[in-house]
Amino acid sequence: MIPVQGLEGARVAVLGLGRSGLSAARALAAGGAKPLCWDDNPAARAKAEAEGFACVDLKAPGAFDKVARLILSPGIPHLYPVPNPVVAAALEAGVPVDNDIGLFFQSFATLAWDNYDTAPRVIAVTGSNGKSTTSALLHHILRHVGRPTQLAGNIGRGVLDIDPAIDGEVVVMELSSYQTDLARALTPDIAVFTNLSPDHLDRHNGRGGYFAAKRRLFAEGGPDRAIVGVDEEEGRFLAGQLSEAPGDDRVIRISVTRKLTGPGWQVFARKGFLSEYRRGKQVASIDLRDVAGLPGAHNHQNACAAYAAARALGLAPKVIEAAFHSFGGLPHRSQLIGEIDGVRFVNDSKATNVDSAVKALAAFENIRWICGGLEKEGGLGGLAGVGDTVRKAYVIGREAAAFAMQLEVETQVCGDMETAVAQAVAEAEPGDVVLLAPAAASFDQYDSFERRGEDFVAQVQRYMTR
Residues tagged in the binding site annotation for ATP: 127-133
Q: Residues at the annotated binding site?
A: 127-133
Per the CB < 8 A criterion, the answer to whether 106 and 277 are in contact is: no
The DSSP secondary-structure symbol of 379 reads -
Cross-strand partners of 393: 369, 411
148-176: string of b/e by CB count within 10 Å (b at 16+)? bbbbbbbbbebbbbbeebeeebbbbbbbb
Hey, is 201 helix, strand or coil? helix
Per the CB < 8 A criterion, the answer to whether 60 and 13 are in contact is: no
Q: How far apart are the C-alpha atoms of 319 and 198, rounded to whole Å? A: 35
Per the CB < 8 A criterion, the answer to whether 173 and 124 are in contact is: yes
Q: What single letter denotes the amino acid at residue 295?
A: P
Q: What share of the chain is helix, strand, coil (3-state, %, to 5)?
A: 35, 25, 40
Q: What single letter denotes the amino acid at residue 18?
A: G
Chain-centroid distance of CA 275 in Å reads 24
Q: How far apart are the C-alpha atoms of 324 and 344, rounded to whole Å? A: 22
> Cα dist. 443→67, 156, 438, 451, 452 in Å?
35, 22, 12, 10, 9
Per the CB < 8 A criterion, the answer to whether 77 and 1 are in contact is: no
Instruction: Count Cβ atoms below 10 Å from residue 217 Cβ, excluding itself.
Output: 29
